[in-house]
Structure 1
Amino acid sequence: MEIKNVLVTGGGGFLGKAIVKKLVKKNLSVTSFSRNFYPDLENLGVLQIQGDLADKNAVAKAFRNIDSVFHVAAKPGIWGPFEEFFQANVTGTENVIFACLENKIKQLIYTSSPSVIFDENDMENVDESAPYPKKYLAPYPETKAMAEKKVISAAKKGLSTIIIRPHLIWGPEDNHMVPGIINRANKLKRVGRKDDLVDTIYVDNAADAHLLASQKLMENPLLSGNIYFVSQDEPVSKWEMADAFLDAAGLPPIRGHVSAKAAYIAGSIFEFIYTLFNIKKEPPITRFAAKELATSHWFNISRAKKDLGYYPKISTKEGLRKLKQWFSTGK
């Protein structure tokens, strides 16, 4: 069974484009399904189909004559109406699964997030057996968990799937995490203790994990339904990492500190005010962000190593060098 025609949802996004580039290098026929048109993808010779994941018919039509799907597109963030996250992350995934089954697509590689199992406590050396929590503090992890369950259910019904959970993706062209740190550089404060550790993953390593999942799933269909954490395999202090991002952008390190309790209380107050007055923009801090910033979260990637042959090719040091170069030259 051979794969020739591949579709990436969100192919113009940060991770999506990294996956697309690697697929193009393998001389595969690549289609991107996104809301927007991206000149970078046109330059790569990628067929672009504009559409909304919430449009079931548009998704089913776009998936015709496709062998493999990488479902990367999602609505990220820690603030916003639940319905918007549900439409993009749950309804969108339901439509992707329907289109895969309808078009008899050979496999679906789904991009999830470790936040789906975050229970507000330290998560250290956690593996894929960790359960979903009983409650969530934000719509993003809740809807991603709901979508993940849909993919697991689809695997039981015969769709060949693998779920990848990359943690804190970063690198050149990042349009989410690193810009968020840089834009708040003069307001940022360390939250909680200094010795907590987190996993991160350089964007090209995350893309490699997705391609390995596709390859290994073709070789071994018994992997279908599996979930894999992937990372740099090198837990780091989140504050040292944030300072490294700031340094790459030529900015000074974070100054100041607030306790975990104070940050959580502030998050509760901001959420109350922003909800009461229907303020759309993201609050300076939320309860979810406060808990995330005050805890360790790093994961055991032994399963990805064993089943997928995944090892991070680009070290954190090399990734930071590439990030600094991108800030300096735009390349």
Structure 2
Amino acid sequence: MRVHVTGGSGFVGSHLLPALVQAGHEVHAMARSDRSAAKVAATGATPARCDLESVTAADLQDIDAVIHLAAYVDPYGPRERYEALNVRGTERMLAAARDAGVRRFVHVSTEAVLFHGPPLVDVDETHPYPTEHRFLYSETKAAAERAVLAASTDGFTALAIRPRFVWGPGDTTVLAQIVQAAESGAWLWMEHGAARTSTTHVANLVDALQVALVRGEGGEVYFVADEGTRTMREFVEALAATRGIVLPKRSVPGWLGRGFAAAVEGAWRLARRRDQPPISRMGAAMMSTTITVNTAKARRELGWTPPFTVAEGLAQLRDA
């Protein structure tokens, strides 16, 4: 199968591209720069010099399937950036794929499309989108997901895969932030890390995406995650331990942590800063709120179960 991947030079893409190549697919991946192109080529895939703001059907000629990973994922940023990449970029990819005769479009979404503050406990795909979103990432990823599902037709199968809390080797966000906060003495738990969470090891997500190339119905969404759930404290302490770090026990109430994050974001906006603040409203909310997902639909309709256990993933990080 000829597969085009967006976001191929990112964290998940760096695992997905070599897996697709090894599986025998002819893999092309969007590359916006020479650096991205070099990363793509190193995996055995072919760089396609285009981006979400300029892609056309000509960039997708003879492609059988698209896996759309690329998105603006920072928890803080200007609305225009979120909308340009997450919404209009996805709409442009859909139009280019349809015009090029692509038959299958697999969109990588997120459980955040449902999150607006209250806990999400064992949610499945029937859970409705919130009527209002509190976070730009959630709002724009939900809009992108809806566009994908609405685009599905008999000749163009479009579906979405929703992982929760992606982790594993090469992650430059969660584990890196834990290490930085611990080393600077800034680490604080919220609610003692009691919130429960589902997680998705990157190898499990990659496996699910490969399955979605051949299984799954158009216009449908599928949650994927590791086996079981755990408290935020259990999981984050285990991640930190892979780097030999023992996190401090001090904790603040969730309302205080979320309020502090809102104040920090407010200060960032007033100062017109463009870098990421040390804590964000969305990050604080998602770290202090139970978010667990039900993967029964993926097991039933895709025949998918996670091949990689959390214990195996932690051992892999320790040995890295």
What is the TM-score of this pair, normalised by structure 2? 0.94
1:312 aligns with 2:295: no
SS at match of 1:146: helix
Q: Is the 8 A contact 1:124 1:298 kept in 2?
A: yes
Report deviation, 1:97: 0.3
2:204, 2:22 → 1: CA distance?
Answer: 15
Q: Is the 8 A contact 1:304 1:310 kept in 2?
A: yes
Letter in 2 for 1:305: R
1:73, 1:52 → 2: CA distance?
Answer: 10
Q: Is the 8 A contact 1:228 1:303 kept in 2?
A: yes
Report deviation, 1:68: 0.6
1:174, 1:193 → 2: CA distance?
Answer: 24
Letter in 2 for 1:69: V
Partner of 1:82: 79
Partner of 2:242: 248
Which residue of 156, 161, 166 corresponds with 1:159?
156
Report deviation, 1:156: 4.9
Seq. identity, %: 28
Letter in 2 for 1:284: P
Partner of 2:49: 50
What does 1:181-260 align with in structure 2 at a 5 Å threshold? Answer: 181-185=178-182, 186-217=185-216, 223-260=217-254
1:194, 1:276 → 2: CA distance?
Answer: 31
Post-superposition Cα deviations, 1:26-83, rounded to whole Å, max 9, x if no partner, equal 211100103232544323321102322011xx34222111011100111102101010
Q: Is the 8 A contact 2:37 2:49 kept in 1?
A: no
**Which stretch of the first structure deviates more once superposed, 317-326 or 150-159?**
150-159
2:57, 2:271 → 1: CA distance?
Answer: 39
Post-superposition Cα deviations, 1:152-194, rounded to whole Å, max 9, x if no partner, equal 1101585201200011111111122222222222312111254
Letter in 2 for 1:48: P
Partner of 1:134: 131
Q: Is the 8 A contact 2:145 2:160 kept in 1?
A: yes
RMSD: 1.5
2:175, 2:280 → 1: CA distance?
Answer: 18
1:225, 1:241 → 2: CA distance?
Answer: 33
**Which stretch of the first structure deviates more once superposed, 32-41 or 299-308?**
32-41
1:275 aligns with 2:263: no
Which residue of 251, 276, 290 corresponds with 1:296?
290
1:173, 1:286 → 2: CA distance?
Answer: 22
SS at match of 2:67: strand
**Which stretch of the first structure deviates more once superposed, 309-318 or 182-191?**
182-191
Q: Is the 8 A contact 1:52 1:59 kept in 2?
A: no
Partner of 1:112: 109
Report deviation, 1:252: 1.7
1:20, 1:238 → 2: CA distance?
Answer: 30
SS at match of 2:170: coil
Post-superposition Cα deviations, 1:64-114, rounded to whole Å, max 9, x if no partner, equal 110111001111021010101111111110111001110110100000000
2:37, 2:231 → 1: CA distance?
Answer: 35
SS at match of 2:223: strand
SS at match of 1:173: coil
Partner of 1:95: 92
SS at match of 1:48: strand
**Which stretch of the first structure deviates more once superposed, 18-27 or 188-197?**
188-197
**Structure 2: runs of 5 or more not aligned:** none
Letter in 2 for 1:101: R
Report deviation, 1:256: 1.1
1:299, 1:233 → 2: CA distance?
Answer: 11
2:83, 2:180 → 1: CA distance?
Answer: 27
Report deviation, 1:212: 0.7
Size of the aligned set, in residue pairs, is 316
